[in-house]
């Protein structure tokens, strides 16, 4: 049984409706939530027909699954995101983001690598900055830029799937300024 948890990687974040589609593999079970509701709480589990046969009534439940409003919202989210305009756009924006993050890194040498797919990106801190992801987050806040951390060593930008190119550029400029200020302190 192949099970994929696509709570974070699903519904367009990687440039595919679900990340597994980039690899040409279909899981038996797939969990989805968060972005599935576009901010409205919902959780879902998708199953192949073969896997679904092993579930009987009452063997599966969900805190955020199944209510009619959540399902209507999720349907609209999937209809909106699962379009060539949005999914191709996410992959195109990835190139702009990664190029900008790599340009910043060439100036400051703060990342070991910039990794990810689509707009699910992580900037892994270089060894000399290990454990300082919160310092980068605070420096970004000072520049009125919101980034996330994924543990002590990864900075994670998490933009809208339809972010404007000018907003990407502005965010990268603010991130550059944040790093410069942090290193100067």
- What's the pLDDT tens digit per position in 116-148? 999 999 999 999 999 999 999 999 999 999 999
pLDDT of residue 65: 67
Taking CB atoms within 8 Å and a gap of at least 24, the contacts of 124-129 are 124/153, 124/154, 125/153, 125/154, 125/155, 129/153
Domain co-membership, 112 together with 145: yes
Q: Are strands 29-33 and 111-117 parallel, antiparallel or unpaired?
A: unpaired
* 66, 70, 73, 78: CA torsion to nearest 10: -40
Please give the biggest Cα pair distance in the chain: 61
Using the 3D structure, point to which of 81, 108, 126 is the last residue of a domain: 81
* CATH at residue 180: 3.90.1150.10
Task: Give the closest residue to 126 by CA, choosing from 143, 140, 106, 100.
Answer: 106
Task: Give the closest residue to 162 by CA, choosing from 12, 8, 10, 2.
Answer: 12
Domain co-membership, 51 together with 130: no
Rounded CA separation 93/91 (Å): 5
Rounded to the nearest 5°, which phi and psi values hold at 25?
-125, 145
Domain co-membership, 119 together with 175: yes
pLDDT surpasses 70 at 105: yes
Report the domain count for the chain. 2
Domain co-membership, 70 together with 106: no
Using the 3D structure, point to which of 81, 97, 116 is the last residue of a domain: 81
pLDDT surpasses 90 at 77: yes
User: Mean pLDDT over all residues of the chain?
Assistant: 94
The whole-model pTM stands at 0.88
């Amino acid at each position: 049984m192949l099970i994929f948890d696509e709570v974070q990687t699903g519904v367009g974040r990687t440039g595919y409706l679900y990340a597994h589609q980039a690899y040409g593999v279909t899981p038996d079970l797939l969990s989805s939530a968060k972005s599935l509701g576009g901010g409205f709480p919902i959780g879902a589990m998708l199953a192949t027909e073969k896997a679904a046969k092993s579930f009987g009534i009452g063997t599966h439940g969900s805190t955020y699954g199944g209510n009619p409003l959540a399902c209507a919202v999720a349907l609209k989210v999937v209809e909106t995101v699962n379009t060539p305009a949005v999914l191709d756009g996410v992959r195109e924006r990835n190139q702009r983001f990664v190029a900008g993050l790599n340009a910043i890194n060439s100036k400051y040498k703060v990342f070991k690598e910039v990794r990810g797919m689509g707009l699910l990106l992580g900037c892994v801190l270089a060894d000399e900055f290990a454990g300082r992801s919160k310092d980068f987050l605070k420096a970004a806040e000072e520049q009125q830029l919101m980034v996330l951390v994924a543990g002590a060593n990864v900075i994670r930008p998490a933009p809208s799937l339809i972010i404007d190119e000018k907003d990407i550029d502005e965010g990268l400029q603010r991130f550059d300024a944040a790093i410069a200020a942090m290193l100067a302190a």
